[in-house]
Structure 1
């Protein structure tokens, strides 16, 4: 029986960045044993804005029925990896549950970290991270610079949405290769 890795993407309102990351992750992962979810620090069951849904259609993903979800604050530890879209989101998650420290990375920081720390094939993702990522420095844990953040496209033109999804595509490609190295 294959054990699926559970990944939670977190942004502010779960209306743009994290639902895109979830949908793009599913699109890229295909049949890999990984489950992507998304949530927001301050979500109010709102849809993705029209421009975001338009861009989602350009990318072949459907966010027409997406309604924002709130971070499951009491259940953060059930996730194998927590991937906030900014350093500020990472700080909020860490403050809510310090036990998730070894499984918490910004999306872009995790993509870089995995380049040097590929998961062994048979290692379960969460326990593997608990063993190899617990001693990371604060900068490694929460991101070292503004370059670790994915910009919020809310209220911006479609070009900003395209830039956001391109950043996520690149990071997700690296993450999937790092977690599931090709044979």
Structure 2
């Protein structure tokens, strides 16, 4: 079972949405999914707007934030960050993880890579746009992971 970790800053907006949406898309099959933040405080709920966006999509998620640490790095097979800065922060503290750390958009082959916009402090519409960006990348991620699994089974 592949272990995927989504990472953002505070683990209350983007990475919890990515975790919940990906889990809903894959129905928890073949993947263990978690999320964390490079500057998170343990035990915080997802932001109210992030929770509402997930609710609008019919996704239940009881989130409690986690600060990224060595244990989560070790647990992960694949670490997908929301921004290039998150990736660089991880590589600064955990250089041995370089082969498994990518921005989400980089990993799924989005031209020019780019960051997933941070909706923190924004309107519901900002959170909806961020969730759409995340979901588009997760659709590509699902395809890539299926292709990888097919190649590995040959």
* TM-score, length of structure 1 as denominator length: 0.74
The unaligned stretches of length 5 or more in structure 1 are 114-143
In 2, the alpha carbon distance for the partners of 1:31 and 1:78 equals 17
Which one of 47, 50, 69 corresponds to residue 49 of structure 1?
47
Max radius of gyration: which structure? Answer: 1
Is 1:100 the counterpart of 2:97 in the alignment?
A: yes
Structure-2 residue corresponding to 1:160: 126
Number of aligned residue pairs: give it. Answer: 148
Structure-1 residue corresponding to 2:12: 15
Structure-2 residue corresponding to 1:5: 2
In 2, the alpha carbon distance for the partners of 1:178 and 1:86 equals 20
* TM-score, length of structure 2 as denominator length: 0.87
Cα-Cα RMSD: 2.0
The unaligned stretches of length 5 or more in structure 2 are none
In 1, the alpha carbon distance for the partners of 2:39 and 2:28 equals 31
Which one of 130, 137, 143 corresponds to residue 171 of structure 1?
137
In 2, the alpha carbon distance for the partners of 1:35 and 1:28 equals 13
In 2, the alpha carbon distance for the partners of 1:66 and 1:36 equals 12
Structure 1 contact 73–96 (Cα < 8 Å) conserved: no
Q: Secondary structure at the match of 1:38?
A: strand
Q: What displacement does 1:62 show?
A: 2.4
Structure 2 contact 53–131 (Cα < 8 Å) conserved: no
Structure-1 residue corresponding to 2:81: 84
